[in-house]
Structure 1
Amino acid sequence: MPKVVTFGELMLRLSPPGYLRFVQTDSFSATFGGSEANVAVTLAQFGLDVSFITKLPSHEIGQLAVNSMRRYGVDTSHILRDGSRIGVFYLEKGASQRGSKVIYDRENSAIALAKADEFNWEEIFMDAEWFHFSGISPALGDNMANLCRIACKKANSLGIPISCDLNYRKKLWTREQAHKVMTELMEYVDVCIANEEDAEDVFGIKPKHGLASAGVIDKESYQEVARMLVDRFGLKLAAITLRRSFSATHNQWSSILYNGKEFIHSKSYDIHLVDRVGGGDSFSGALLYGILEKFELSKALDFATAASCLQQTIEGDFNLISFDEVLSLVEGNTFGRVNR
């Protein structure tokens, strides 16, 4: 069974019930999430051996965060326990023409202040066959950018393939900062995953036609974006998720994969969203699953797109969809009928 290592921040997510706004609510539901943690849960749900690496406080909320990963079969044995706080994000779910809103409270979290010598990467990567991180982690500050660089160098020296979801977050750093740091890290990356805006935000690579923010997706233009990513950084694969937003609760979801020779397009799905946060992470996790299980690339892409489609129909960041449910959708069961 392939072993995967993911590295990043696990955060406490606080959300008003239903579609209440922040200024309306008098209570918050508490769950956990974070890009690389979400990928780890996806892989564990599909039966792979996956280890999530982070640093969390040793108090009870830190333990609750660790438990949130353990309950879904993720190895937490290398999580460091120290520091005073866990990162928090507040999520207000949008509806119709009102978009969702995220407020971060993650400055000086335990992982953001972690030191380079705290992680034994030789031990962490023992028997590992893949390493995954995202652009959110180095955006947390110089410490985390350095830690990502150290981890990538060690994985590379051990011959471990590396994937990165660009995941640009404008509330964490500027485009100039992202360009500088991510360009250095891409030296080590084999598989790059991005949404329809990430490549432009981080590397200035943009489609000739189509504007995602205006709800226009031109797939041929995004083929060119994928090609430029592969050519610029010598990647083995570049994958781009394409979200056409008719409203905050009605999206069209598809993806493109390029291997340096051919472009592969996924099936397209109309989604009436329940919770879109974590959708891209479930795509990343399911794509890595397909690659590690040696699916044909077209099957891996369809599997990843279907998994992430389904994830956006459940509450929370984590992908709690089974392999059989994904396979059923890939095979054409799109009607959502009661399964008796």
Structure 2
Amino acid sequence: MAKVVTFGEIMMRLATPGYLRLVQANQFEVTYAGAEANVAVSLANFGIDVSFVTKLPSNELGQAVLRTLRQYGVDLSHICFGEGRLGLYFLETGFSQRPSKVIYDRANSVFALSKPQDFNWDEILKDATWLHFTGITPALGDNLVESCRNALNKAKEKNITVSCDLNYRAKLWSEEKARGVMSELVQYVDVLFANEEDTEKVFGIHADDSNIVEGKLSLAGYEQVCRRLRERFGFKKVAISLRESIVANLNGWSAVLLDDDDFYHSRQYTVHIVDRVGAGDSFAAGVIYGTIMGMKPQETLDFAVAASCLKHTIIGDFNQVTLEEVKKVAKGEGSGRVVR
């Protein structure tokens, strides 16, 4: 039986109601979110045994996080606790030509200040078959670079599949620091996830004939990106989500996958967006699920894109969909007609 472990920070998300701007808001909608926690919840919803590893404050906010994750059936037994604060992020949802905005308030959080010795990777990975992390985790500090390195070394010692989503965040570290750290860490990675911007920012690999600002994306260019990444780092799979931003709440959404030496691309969905945050995490979870379940590469990619397409329609970072709902969309049942 497959067991996935994800490692990273979970935060309190404070979003303005509806489409209010942050400067207008006098109240916020509270949920909890974080890239690796988002992946864990998606996989749990699909019936995968999954454990989320982090450090939480020893107070009511830490307990609120546990209660939130527990309802999805995520294993929380390897979460540790300490004195400190829970990280926050503020979200203003964009509309039309006005983009969404995120403001982080996560500096010196209990997770950001965690120590490598807080995590016993031999015990955490005891029964694991897959380890997932993102570039956000090492971006939080050199201590977490070391924690990631320890986890990756132990995963390779145990012959565990490792996946990583680059998730470059300019507000957390520079391109130069990201390139140096991630070039080392991805040496342990079997499956790499990225979007159309990450590969250029982190590794300097750009897709020819593409311009993400203008919404111009070239499949041939991204096949070249996937192959160059594989040549440089030896990944078994490279999956890249492709977003064509028409306006903030209307996007084209698709993805490509390099599996061994074969290249695949999905259909493109036109998505009217309710909440796009977490879409990349739901895509990664879909690829992980398809791979674990032995789906063929094209089926895996179609499943992952359908799952992430649905995520755009759901408020909050977690992709609160069922396996059956994703499969229906992947088969083409995406008209949005009322189900009676």
* 1:212 match: secondary structure: coil
The aligned amino acid for 1:161 is T
Identity percentage over the alignment? 54
Distance in 2 of aligned mates of 1:260 and 1:231: 11
Name the SS of the counterpart of 1:137 in structure 2: helix
Amino acid of the structure 1 residue aligned with 2:248: A
Query: Following superposition of structure 1 onto structure 2, how do residues 309-320 of structure 1 map, counting pairs within 5 Å?
Result: 309-320=309-320
| 2:174 maps to 1:137 | no
Q: Match of 1:103, SS?
A: strand
Quick check: 1:236 aligned with 2:236?
yes
**Inter-partner Cα distance in structure 2 for 1:83 and 1:224:** 47
Partner of 1:152, secondary structure, is: helix
RMSD over equivalenced CA pairs, Å: 0.6
Which residue of structure 1 lines up, in the alignment, with residue 15 of structure 2?
Answer: 15
CA–CA distance in 2 between the matches of 1:71 and 1:35? 18
CA–CA separation in structure 1 for the residues paired with 2:59 and 2:75? 19
Matches within 5 A, 1:7-46: 7-46=7-46
Asked if structure 2 preserves the Cα contact closer than 8 Å seen for 1:227 and 1:260, the reply is no
Q: Which residue pairs with 2:93 in the alignment?
A: 93
Question: 1:115 is aligned with what amino acid?
Answer: K
Q: Deviations over 1:17-73 (max 9, x none)?
A: 000001111100100110000000000000000000000001001110121111111
- Alignment match, 2:255: 255
Q: Partners of 1:208 and 1:337 in 2: how far apart?
A: 38
Distance between the aligned counterparts of 2:73 and 2:229, measured in 1? 34
| 1:181-196 matches, cutoff 5 A | 181-196=181-196
Is the counterpart of residue 63 in structure 1 residue 40 in structure 2? no
Runs of 4+ in 1 over 3 A off after TM superposition: none
What secondary structure does 2:136 align onto?
coil
Give the count of matched residue pairs: 340
Distance 2:242 2:260 in 1: 19
Q: Distance in 2 between matches of 1:58 and 1:13?
A: 19
**How many angstroms does 1:222 deviate by?**
0.7
Return the alpha-carbon distance in structure 2 between the equivalents of residues 286 and 58 of structure 1.
33
SS in 1 for 2:9: coil
**Structure 1 position 83, deviation (Å):** 2.5
Distance (whole Å) between structure 2 residues aligned to residue 24 and residue 293 of structure 1: 46
CA deviations on 1:128-152 (whole Å, 9 max, x unpaired) are 0100000000000111111111101
TM-score (norm 1): 0.99
Q: Distance in 1 between matches of 2:334 and 2:119?
A: 44
Counterpart AA for 1:198: D
Shift of 1:213: 1.7
- Shift, 1:233, TM fit: 0.3
| TM-score normalised over the length of structure 2 | 0.99
Structure 2 residue 321 is the aligned partner of structure 1 residue 321: yes
Contact 1:2 1:292 in 2 (8 A): yes
Matched, 1:149 2:142: no
Could you say which residue in structure 1 is the equivalent of 2:109? 109
Distance of 1:303 and 1:20 partners within structure 2: 33
Contact 1:238/1:258, CA 8 A, preserved across alignment? yes
Kept after mapping to 2: 8 A contact 1:135/1:164: yes
- In structure 2, the partner of 1:118 is 118
Is residue 2:330 matched to residue 1:330? Answer: yes
Q: Give the whole-Å Cα distance in 1 for the aligned partners of 2:67 and 2:75.
A: 10
SS for the counterpart of 1:111 is coil
Shift of 1:215: 1.0
Can you give the 5+ residue segments of structure 1 that lack an aligned partner in the other structure?
A: none
Q: For residue 54 of structure 1, what is the aligned residue in structure 2?
A: 54
Aligned residue in 2 for 1:4: 4
Aligned equivalents of 1:120 and 1:274: distance in 2? 39
> CA separation in 2, counterparts of 1:121 and 1:143?
15
Q: Residues 83 and 109 of structure 1 are in contact (CA less than 8 Å); yes or no, is this contact kept in structure 2?
A: no
Asked whether the equivalents of residues 55 and 79 of structure 1 are also in contact (C-alpha less than 8 Å), the reply is: yes
For 1:179-204, what per-residue CA distance to the aligned partner results, in whole angstroms no more than 9, with x for missing partners? 00000001100000000010000000
- 1:325 deviation in Å? 0.3
| Distance (Å, rounded) in 2 between the aligned partners of 1:302 and 1:259 | 14
Partners of 1:271 and 1:130 lie apart in 2 by 31
Q: Distance in 1 between matches of 2:279 and 2:180?
A: 27
Q: Report the Cα distance in structure 1 between the residues aligned to 2:61 and 2:109, rounded to whole angstroms.
A: 13
* Structure 2 unaligned regions, length at least 5: none
Partner of 2:304: 304
